[in-house]
Structure 1
């Protein structure tokens, strides 16, 4: 999982996660594994930002497995988890707007998520020049 996330982080597409941080957050992750090789080919996690909001984080699929619906399946599982916890809003910050739109999300202003801004964005090196797009899916 660390290698997959690091691949995206090196390209500036995803925030890096240390092995230690991933170990602490392991229970929040969903992974996709290729059966034939037992190789991890995708992952994503949920982070609760408030009583009514969760964020999809660290969503990625290995380059050679893109286009097979793996990312959408991970999002679907994370959405089911949010629904089971009765959390009505699912958000993400992304560069892959079309992917999220295909999965039922809408583009929104980042400023409607003060929970995200104060928890994570305040520590980000892109804080004053963030070019990620906020997307939201209402589950209620």
Structure 2
């Protein structure tokens, strides 16, 4: 049986599944939760992955500054991990960043090896004051953050 993986911009019909995927990671403490209302407002930043028409992964691209965007809410449904879906989502988000003319893409992650395989390098998170002041200031892990910052330059 052949499966077809496609990535596309998220639509309003995807909100419930986006919420479920993100909530699964949030319950494990490895992703910030998002409400359905927040997802609705930020929907244009999301890309989803489908296998044979079933939504199985998501990720978003959030602008942090003139020359910097962050990959966030990157997740794959249980049962679909290890099939190249995360890589396809990252490639789609990197393409979007290039289209927008943004030269730097960062992420905060626990999956360093995954990002390194996709061309990112580990960096100090302090080089991203845009991220710290926008999001980290509201995070419960603010003073004990154990996520690793990664960066990929597109220029």
Shorter-chain TM band: over 0.9
Q: Aligned partners of 2:35, 2:51: CA distance in 1, in Å?
A: 24
What does residue 20 of structure 1 align with?
A: 37
What does residue 122 of structure 1 align with?
A: 137
Alignment of 1:92-111 (within 5 A): 92-111=107-126
- Residues 1:33 and 2:50 are matched in the alignment: yes
Q: 2:26 aligns with which of 9, 12, 15?
A: 9
When normalised by structure 2's length, the TM-score is 0.88
SS in 2 for 1:56: strand
Q: Aligned partners of 1:97, 1:77: CA distance in 2, in Å?
A: 19
Q: 1:48 aligns with which of 63, 88, 105?
A: 63
Where does structure 2 lack aligned partners over 5 or more consecutive residues?
1-17
- Residues 1:87 and 2:72 are matched in the alignment: no
Shift of 1:39: 2.4
Aligned length: 138
Q: Aligned partners of 2:149, 2:51: CA distance in 1, in Å?
A: 30
Q: CA RMSD in A?
A: 0.6
Q: Aligned partners of 2:114, 2:78: CA distance in 1, in Å?
A: 15
Shift of 1:44: 0.1
What does residue 8 of structure 2 align with?
A: none
Q: Aligned partners of 1:137, 1:112: CA distance in 2, in Å?
A: 13
